[in-house]
Amino acid sequence: MQVILERGDYHLTPEYFIDQTCGNCQEPNEPISATRGITISGKNISITGPVDRSAVIHTHAGYGIYIKDLENGVLENLTITGTLRDTAQMATDAAIVVSNSDVVIRNNTIRDNLGDSLLISKHISGVMGICGRENSHMQIIENDILRNSWDGIALYRDAYAEIIGNKIDGIDKSVGRLPEGGRGVAIGVTWNAKA
């Protein structure tokens, strides 16, 4: 299935769900309460926008675009913004969360996914640009990942990613002030993940 978005703003309506696995917990089977903007599952699904990235998706959720159990997926030529911080401290909130999937993330702008500064101060963790988890295989190519409030790209739990030609900026330490770009690292690899 191919979804082609025209220039414009697309606002997702978040829904609460229980993530049955935890990307960043000592015990991976710990359920986590979170929100998701949209879930993409199945086989051979691509979502593309105009080359100038003028299709802007406002996720309004902790797991902005949640890619779960997707075989052969593509996200391309999009701007993804407005991802929020969930109240559960261990939620792996990101503009794009990939779990048990094979996906290409190419030529996107992933920006201003900051969340509520009070929650970020309380939990330390904010909102990542891209989070790969649980055996996912990703090609992350030529994206601009800017002004997010946690890591630019984070890989957990046996995820694998080829990371080529991305611009990751705005990752700075925000201590005692509103997050203006994020705390964390540009690319984080942990829990047996590889890049």
Is 195 inside a domain boundary?
no
- Give the separation between CA 192 and CA 195, rounded to whole angstroms: 10
**Among 3-7, 43-47, 84-88, 135-139, the least confident range:** 84-88
Residue at token pair 């330490």: 173
Q: Quick one: average pLDDT of 18-46?
A: 89
Contact 62, 92 (CB under 8 A): no
- What pLDDT does residue 16 have? 96
Is 85 inside a domain boundary?
yes
Residue at token pair 């990703």: 138
Is 125 inside a domain boundary?
yes
Q: 48 Cβ partners below 8 Å, 6+ apart?
A: 2, 3, 4, 5, 74, 75, 76, 77, 78
Half-sphere exposure of 43 (CA within 13 A, CB side): 0
- What range defines the domain where residue 34 resides? 2-189
pLDDT digits over 147-160, tens only? 888 888 999 889 99
Is 89 inside a domain boundary?
yes
Is 175 inside a domain boundary?
yes
Is 88 inside a domain boundary?
yes
Number of domains in the chain: 1
User: What pTM, to 2 d.p., does this model score?
Assistant: 0.90
